[in-house]
């Protein structure tokens, strides 16, 4: 047991924690944090100290929380409940924990990515040794700052699919192209696309980094990436694209693999048919009704659909922005529209949101 807790009983510590003097509470909090940072807490009394620290944290000033987070962010024995609280707090408190804490699991980090904001995702993108499941969760939001940080993090594990998405997005962001060019693990099959999106100066750098002949590569890229492919005549009748997507969504749903992540990724990648069918299926609304509602009131209909499909509310602004950028609809998320969109989440259960979406589609 720690020296402080040896000098004071648990009852005395609990009384100090309930002090009406904020300064005394903060001093006790930092004292306990400093002791916790020295060695693991193993006894039942030390577990009680951990719980008292959590209670003190709820009332602590932000600068005090930040000091405590810095004290414990590298400790494997830091109280998990406290670490999780800091991880979802304001960025200055969350950053040291998100960057360094070994207490946070991959599942914890993915949940924080989905529920928290840009600054939390930036910290996670810079965390050493993040695995593919985390980088896949980060790319869903299509935030250039996060992707630049993630690809600049040379210890981050990135899958072929995530690299491909980054290369595609880099067409609009030169800093992302630069960080991708510095990745030694960039799959060689993606180099032609990166080359095609790059400036002449960037192409010279790519040629040097990846050991390719720039002149010859330019011709290969022109034929493989920039030129329109020749379409061979065929007597076969092509399958209707929408029917194909509908079958895919149905198949995913039957296999319990249709998830909100698929909806978000479809929007990010501009696969509007997949987006429509996936979100409509998850919301339990016919796709035609979803489209009709979107035509009537894009932002509110999208918010209702997200609620009905059980997408996290924090995802909605990014999803709205992606669809706006795609030209799927054109409506600014501000003022009364923004307020009504928020109410589509706060004022409805998922089932009620689905009903409201259907009624909106049928309105005259």
Domain boundary among 103, 134, 153: 103
- Provide the pLDDT for residue 116: 86
Whether residues 92 and 50 fall in one domain: yes
Instruction: Write out the residue range of the structural domain in which residue 116 sits.
Output: 105-224
Do residues 182 and 202 make contact, with C-beta atoms less than 8 angstroms apart? no
Do residues 345 and 303 make contact, with C-beta atoms less than 8 angstroms apart? yes
Q: Is residue 229 part of a domain?
A: no
Q: pTM of the full predicted structure? A: 0.58
Other Cβ atoms within 10 Å of 237 Cβ, number: 6
- Provide the pLDDT for residue 243: 84
Whether residues 91 and 121 fall in one domain: no
Closest C-alpha among 163, 103, 153, 101 to residue 128: 153
Report in angstroms the alpha-carbon separations of 138 from 135, 163, 271, 308, 309: 5, 12, 19, 23, 20
- Provide the pLDDT for residue 274: 94
Domains: count for the chain? 3
Do residues 44 and 36 make contact, with C-beta atoms less than 8 angstroms apart? no
Whether residues 42 and 111 fall in one domain: no
- Provide the pLDDT for residue 20: 64
Q: Exposed (0-12), middle (13-18) or buried (19+): which is 259, by Cβ within 10 Å?
A: middle
Do residues 224 and 192 make contact, with C-beta atoms less than 8 angstroms apart? yes
Whether residues 5 and 22 fall in one domain: yes
Whether residues 214 and 170 fall in one domain: yes
Closest C-alpha among 89, 75, 157 to residue 123: 89
Do residues 242 and 232 make contact, with C-beta atoms less than 8 angstroms apart? no
Whether residues 115 and 77 fall in one domain: no
Q: Is residue 342 part of a domain?
A: yes
Whether residues 96 and 18 fall in one domain: yes
**Ranges assigned E (strand) in the chain:** none
Q: Is residue 233 part of a domain?
A: no
- Provide the pLDDT for residue 205: 86
Distance of CA 67 to the CA centre of its chain: 27
Whether residues 135 and 54 fall in one domain: no
Please give the chain's pLDDT, 364 residues, in tens: 444 444 445 555 555 655 666 777 778 888 888 878 887 765 545 667 777 888 888 888 889 999 999 999 999 999 999 999 999 999 999 999 999 999 999 999 999 998 888 899 999 999 999 999 999 989 888 888 999 999 999 999 999 989 998 998 898 899 999 999 999 899 988 888 888 888 888 888 888 888 766 665 555 555 544 444 444 444 454 557 888 898 899 888 888 889 999 999 999 888 999 999 999 999 998 988 899 999 999 999 999 999 999 998 888 998 999 899 888 999 988 889 999 999 999 888 898 898 889 888 876 5
Whether residues 203 and 155 fall in one domain: yes
Whether residues 63 and 31 fall in one domain: yes
Whether residues 88 and 4 fall in one domain: yes
Do residues 82 and 53 make contact, with C-beta atoms less than 8 angstroms apart? yes
- Provide the pLDDT for residue 19: 60
Q: Is residue 275 part of a domain?
A: yes
- Provide the pLDDT for residue 213: 64
Closest C-alpha among 44, 201, 94 to residue 181: 201
């Amino acid at each position: 047991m720690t020296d402080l807790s040896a000098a004071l009983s648990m009852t005395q510590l609990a009384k100090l924690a309930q002090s009406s003097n904020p300064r005394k509470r903060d001093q006790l909090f930092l004292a306990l944090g400093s002791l916790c940072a020295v060695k693991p807490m193993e006894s039942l009394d030390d577990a009680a100290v951990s719980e008292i620290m959590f209670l003190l944290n709820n009332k602590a000033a932000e600068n005090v929380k930040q000091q405590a987070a810095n004290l414990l962010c590298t400790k494997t024995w830091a109280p998990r409940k406290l670490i999780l609280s800091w991880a979802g707090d304001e960025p200055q408190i969350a950053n040291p924990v998100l960057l360094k804490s070994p207490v946070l699991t991959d599942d914890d980090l993915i949940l924080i990515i989905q529920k928290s904001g840009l600054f939390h995702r930036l910290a996670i993108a810079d965390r050493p040794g993040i695995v593919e499941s985390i980088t896949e969760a980060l790319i869903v939001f299509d935030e250039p700052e996060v992707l630049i940080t993630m690809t600049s993090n040379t210890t981050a594990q990135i899958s072929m699919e995530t690299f491909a998405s980054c290369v595609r997005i880099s067409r609009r962001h030169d800093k992302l192209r630069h960080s991708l060019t510095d990745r030694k693990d960039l799959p060689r099959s993606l180099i032609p696309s990166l080359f095609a999106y790059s400036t002449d100066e960037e192409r010279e750098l790519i040629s040097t980094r990846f050991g390719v002949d720039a002149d010859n590569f330019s011709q290969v890229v022109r034929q493989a990436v920039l030129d329109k492919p020749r379409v061979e005549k065929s007597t076969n009748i092509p399958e209707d694209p929408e029917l194909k997507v509908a079958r895919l969504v149905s198949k995913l749903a039957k296999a319990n693999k249709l998830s909100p992540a698929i909806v978000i990724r479809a929007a990010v990648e501009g696969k509007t048919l997949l987006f429509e069918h996936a979100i409509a299926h998850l919301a339990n609304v016919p796709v035609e009704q979803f489209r009709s509602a979107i035509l009537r009131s894009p932002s509110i209909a999208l918010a209702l659909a997200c609620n009905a499909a059980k997408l996290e509310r924090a995802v909605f602004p990014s999803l709205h922005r992606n669809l706006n950028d795609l030209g799927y609809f054109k409506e600014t998320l501000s003022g009364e529209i923004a307020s009504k969109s928020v109410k589509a989440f706060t004022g409805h259960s998922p089932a009620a949101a689905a009903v409201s979406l259907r009624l909106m589609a049928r309105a005259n």
